Structure 1
Amino acid sequence: MLPGGCAYKEAPPSKKGKSICTKEVPEGTGTPAKVQLAEVLLNIEIIPGHPDKTTQIGSQMSEETKKEVVRCLQRNADIFAWTPQDLEGIDLKNAGATYQRLVDKIFRPQIGRNIDIYVDDMLVKSKRAGDHVADLEETFSVLRKYRLKLNPSKCAFGVRGGCFLGFMVTQRGIKANPLKIRAILDMKAPTCINEVQQLTRRIAALSRFISKAAEKSLPFFKVLRKAKTFEWFAPCQQAFEKLKIYLAGPPLLVKPSPGDTLYLYLSATSQAVSSVLIREEEEKQMPIYYVSKVLNGAEGRYIPIEKMARALVITARRLRPYFLSHPIGVKTNMPLKQTLGKLDTLG
């Protein structure tokens, strides 16, 4: 099940009551904005005989799986709300924070295993099509127990990919939002401080997909430090062009399976630290998440081993959910253990 709110526009329903939703971009195109690789969404009645009470399912499932998903949705029609009258009274005071704490608590056994949640965006995920109905039933039972309901017009069940938290989630892994990539690829060289700030914000939004993002952005940060005078140096233009080349074919990030041992590679330069969390799959190393940070103040005066330890601390804090749920091996030839206590004291 995927949430609504995808960055791509859904086409008007066709005569057959179907709709087209942009799904993902073929690898290597580098020009995702106009690609129309689509999946047809089928309108189905959750309550038979009530054409106003519908939701949507993916069309690429087998016929048997489609029937199972439809039967599952019809069995659980009570967890959908079509009008405000279908909802029980809710105290709206601090509703946002209260709701986030609630879903974090009630779905704790499922989060990371077969569900991801951020505020009111919910993704029920299944590695195999045959497991999807069971994963939905488990989720619906929790919703029913705590009297929560879904808006069927913002749901799609049994689809192979979609937009979640600004990223494209597919069977193969997680891709950067092509609209965010296009925003940088279409940019001209900045001509003022505000445009440089806009560029660095766009890079930050894609940083988990960019190896050594902080290091790649150093020339832009140097421009920002001279806020009173703007000058776009040759190194800035070179870094800008290299960034565009990199983003023309960004990496596909994978999701680890429960119990996987993950590995962390660390890197440090005079001005930035970086890391990449990877999973080994059939002797291939697949990236999960890139982390990087510009070193400020006293951090820039650390000796190399302290910088590597700092990179580990920053990564552990940023990727805490991975560190809590997986054994992680740090790939390094430096004795980091003795340095970590000192860096914790330094902050």
Structure 2
Amino acid sequence: MIYNHLIRPILYKIPADTIHPIVAGGGELIAKIPLIGPALSNYYRVDNPALRVQLFGINFPNPIGLSAGFDKDGRYLDFAHTFGFGFSEIGSITGEAYAGNPKPWTRRLVKNQALVINYGLKSEGAEKIYSRLRNKKPFLPFGISVAKTNRVDCVGEKAIADYVKVFKTFKDIGSYYTINLSCPNTADGTPFSEPETLKRLLMEIDKARTEIHSSKPIFLKINPDLEKTKIDQIIELCHRFNIQGLVISNLIKDHQKAKTYLKYPEEYNPSWPGGLSGLAVRQISTECIRYVYQKTQGSIKIIGCGGVFTGDDAYEKIKAGASLIELITGFIFNGPATIRKINLRLLKLLKQDGLTNISQAVGQE
């Protein structure tokens, strides 16, 4: 209540592009202060065996992760632990540095509890981020979100080589990879969500995996509004190239379609560049999760993302088929106690359903 009625209105007077590094950097700084950091962590973290998830040999203390996009350059690893998350995802990281699209990068749709995101894969580049992370000892598992540099000449084989560069650079860092196929804010759209180009990319990723002897699981991040025929083809390629999971989903990139998901469409201008996150994505991403889970009978593991604000939102996606959940926008709108509230609610929902661990709820609609 204090956050919603006192702190948030003050923060919203500051442009979103300005406030993000202040809040993230401030949270990271507080996390490192003796006594204060651990005290905050002890309050926000919900440590209960019923919430623990083991997936691909990785131990997640709870199923709620901080999704890629919050910590693009690996600066805020302790932030996620302090505020109760069970894991985080760094990036997306690109082969070369890119300063991002022209500002604004973020627009708030306050009534809709949504954001329009247009960073355009802003990144300090693989080598610099690797140098920052190589000696870190994080509290939580974290993934590396891999993307290609957003330059007009980084297409085709150059783009594939850019993905592979990031993949190889982080061979010893991170618990898993996410290959970001679906950023809607790049110069050439999202060509690697097309099955034929994806096949070429995965062939090279598979070669690189063999070359560096990597056993880390790989997820692909897809859009929520892909046609079912394309989703089916992506699933087939996942099986063919031993891709263990999908992150469902990224932002809604179809501007006209995005407007139909908003409760207050007048707040949104379809001419704004970027993709839509927040409550508007909740239904369409859950439908996509459900489709993939039922299609694969759980053989492809799913990280559910999109429109998660409450424990009920998270549980809905888990019961639709997600093994883990990621969020950013819900945390931005609901404040630092968001993950604590979600995890406490999950415990109540598990008890209501007579379950002893969150993994038992996966796909059990």
Under TM normalisation by the shorter chain, which class is it? under 0.3
TM-score normalised by L of structure 2: 0.25
Larger relative strand fraction: 1
Q: Larger Rg: 1 or 2?
A: 1
TM-score normalised by L of structure 1: 0.26
